[in-house]
Structure 1
């Protein structure tokens, strides 16, 4: 079967899925999410371990288990909501959004520099593109990791770019993003995935060292771009999108220390957002996979 046919079948499936009433979609996603939670032991164990370690003194084992189950159900519901939103134009979609703190983005732009929008795998981050209209003050770009499966990549790119956001594949994008920021435009990216030790720095995330990509800190330091945290979360049938005040850039002249400190500040901002809606964070990802180097004695090995 050709990629073109697969793409058309995927698109038809998404359109049909989007026609389901919200109550039916919620019921189906709860059932599918529960089945996934019960059958996918590997990802279930990762999620429960991550939640347990993050909320050691705050959540009981029962609360950890229930939160883990919710995470799986909410993740499935994201797919239904993407399909639901796919059939709407931006004006109709924005009726379901409550946007807070947009002035924080505008204030950052008024400082005459580019802006990096910082977010994570929280809420239905795929629908963040709906929050950006054709604002004449800036052009909006999004940095993303391409799907290996070409028909899915084509479909998701179509969904992500339909409201005027230009998507940039992350691989080899540093110079392009640098130019965009120097042109005083806006680039959104996610900064909450595990990084290999040679691409990241270890910073505190929920009380544990998490290897985090240092690219955003380097870009901000090089271009003097402002970093504005933002997130999306679902409350009932409304999506709340909130822009937070920009994070002051640390610049002491010690490049290594500045990269660490800035990356820590960005990661702390993500943690504060996650704590507001822990059930809407993607705890299934093995965020703490890369561990700090340590010398192990022969007895321990």
Structure 2
């Protein structure tokens, strides 16, 4: 008898396993969907037009210079740009003397030690230096920012989904928690040290509002420094910092397209010349 049922044991076990799997997939009760405030109230970046958009886009040097001014006077208090050298600023229209004067406003550490304080000695930056970091290390940065780490801004415009439009929306998007959100999600709170911003992924961001009022920066070219203008300018500058060769890439792409069009026409002409009058 055992010999008769032994060959059937393995198929029966497999059949039971398949039935259990099918029941788990189609019959088991599904877990209730979790409805989060961040899913409903998180906003996409605003639609902001930039001169460098599209295949023919170009940077506006005046805008980039204004954006650098916003970075220097507002953002550089917390955010570094360790991949940008001062001499790179010549690419956005600053002259060599202007770059030299800009660099002198930053101090860089030297390998030597100050004998009076025991701290690393410093010197004024040179055009060949990179923009020095704000904090000595990550520990110091977190200690100064409620355990939050301010990101380096060198590649920020390319590292964040939405690019410069996201940055411009974020820095001007601080607001009070909407009453509708409080009503729909009574348990939603803004923890101490955080700020409500619907353009941030989880709605609560550690960075305080960087642009607090119009006229926070006085532009040398006379452009009205509204919050929206400052946000657009600094985000354009950060896009240039992340992709300084964008215009070269556009020119190369157009040249390649023109080459391909001409090559295609020549190939078609050669085909017609070779096969003209010949029957297949």
TM-score normalised to structure 2 length: 0.23
- Normalized per residue, the structure richer in strand is 1
TM-score normalised to structure 1 length: 0.21
Rg comparison, structure with higher value: 2
